[in-house]
Amino acid sequence: MPTRSPTTDLFFTAFAHSSVGMALISLQGHWIEVNPALCRIIGYTRDELLALTFQEITHPDDLDGDLTLLNKVLANEIDFYNLEKRYRHASGRIIWGLLTVTLSRDAGGNPECLIGQMIDITEHKKAVEDRDAFFTLSPDLLAITGTDGYLLQVNPAWTDALGWTQDELSSRPFIDFVHPDDVAATLAEAGRIYRGGVARGFRNRYRHARGGYRWLEWSTRALNNGLMYCSVRDVTTQIENEERLRSQEQKIRLLIENANDAFLGMNERGIITEWNKQAELTFGWSAQEAIGQPMVELLTPQRMRRQHLDGVQAFLRHGQLASPRKRVEVPALRKDGSEILVEITVGALPFDGELYFHAFLRDVSEQRRMSEQLHHRATHDFLTGLPNRYEFMGRLQRAIEAASRQPPRPLVLLFIDLDGFKAVNDICGHEMGDAVLIEFGRRLGQSVRRTDQVARLAGDEFVVLLDHVANAELDAEGVCSKILGAAGRPYPQLAGRTEVGASIGVALYQPADSADTLLSRADAAMYVAKNAGKNRVAFLRDGLWVVRAGGR
């Protein structure tokens, strides 16, 4: 171990109080010293760890990789290494840690011991796994591309649609799969997106593994990390149908009888002239009832009829549809008076000296409901119903971007950790713990303004984002006082067996803060409040910590 000195005393003080797991390890892997944070993360006491080696609690599948890097450090091939690896927790479960290892040398330059630092990334890994699950299950073709022109990641829907394996798709530049006639337009569109544009509805042809091409419709956005995120749909059938519809009237009628979507045609006065079987099933009116009726009175909700009629008149004047050959979603009426959401594609053709409008309509009410439900599940905490960490960090970043514009405005982040929550789980059980989290989440929402953002990050950690505040410090103190009062009120579920409170860290947005930086400062302030005795609020003022007890 390093010889004690004023410098090393500072090291050991930081070592003992760090929220990051830290350890001194012998060159053979025995624990020499560990800090409380590491014991808390891994679940072992200090004495238990000192009786073990790091090899004994490392997941077997990760041990070889760890030892390989360690040997490179000992051989002076590298100065340090970082590694994501799994550990066996004292409870038997597996946790993930982000490990950093460096080598300490004595005054003579000889290896003395290893210094290890570990951050618990178990929740992060789980969040990534959940995101990948949604990515994999999507029926749409989802992809992430890099600046080098390669598809970095694709979901299984690509194989279903185009026949190529995921490895085949990512092993060559994506432009190699594009129809030669579409290459120039595709490259131009990609360049426009990388310059900050957004692609919605861009179409090109992609080569199928069995030969031929499929039409794809792209919705694409590039982020600051240099990656493009793509949502793609196979629209080959739609395009082929549109081409057939434009070819001749006989093919239109053939499509009407065999289309899976509802189809209607109408003249330029808005009178329905065509109504297929799927339209009968979708809307409830028979062809005999529908044909000859004004479409706007049959299908368009009352509140939207003026807008529809104005759009038709504008087209008749200017000869241009608002959204030619583009799918849009609009509400539509059924015969029984109920409303459904339909995806509609509208076109217009000259026929017998006047314009003929045709439309395919698909009931997407259930699809929209499921999509919204999936989105809510992906972005909200299943227990409290509050936005989760992923959703909140996006909102926080958007708030920071807005706050940084001229004129700048104050932005305050509160990081809240429940005091005594572990005792709730230990004494009353995890079911009661969940009930307390739900109740606190409800109280938290009632303690802030409707314009404030409330979220649950993980466990008993919550955050509140105060935006549009007149006096950042004063308003934050008022909200914190309400939250501490709400957190400290008795919880009927606990029947007085234990008490719960809260510690709050406050961070004021500073120019150039990122979302992660602001969150980290609020987190650090929370620990200052908790270490000062709990049921307190802590914040920085002129470089000094200010701690105030609840009720003040």
Instruction: Give the residue numbers marked as catalytic.
Output: 460
3-class DSSP assignment, residue 420: coil
Rounded Cα gap, residues 253 and 228, in angstroms = 41
Rounded Cα gap, residues 99 and 115, in angstroms = 10
Q: Which residue pairs, CB below 8 angstroms and at least 24 apart, start in 81-90?
A: 84/121, 84/125, 85/58, 85/59, 86/58, 86/59, 86/61, 86/62, 87/42, 87/57, 87/58, 87/59, 88/57, 88/58, 88/59, 89/42, 89/43, 90/42, 90/43, 90/44, 90/48
Tell me if 101 sits within 8 A of 70, measured CB to CB: yes
Q: What are phi and psi of 126, to 5 degrees?
A: -65, -40
Burial of residue 186 (CB within 10 Å: 0-12, 13-18, 19+) is buried
Q: Which residue pairs, CB below 8 angstroms and at least 24 apart, start in 472-478?
A: 472/410, 472/411, 472/412, 472/508, 473/508, 473/539, 473/541, 475/412, 476/412, 476/414, 476/506, 476/508, 476/539, 477/537, 477/548
Q: State the residue for tokens 């050991």.
A: 12
Tokens of 491: 């919880």
Task: Give the list of residues 6+ apart from residue 371 with CB closer than 8 angstroms, or none.
Answer: none
Rounded Cα gap, residues 193 and 75, in angstroms = 47
Tell me if 179 sits within 8 A of 205, measured CB to CB: yes
CA dist 500 → 365, 439, 493, 505, 537 (Å):
44, 12, 12, 17, 15
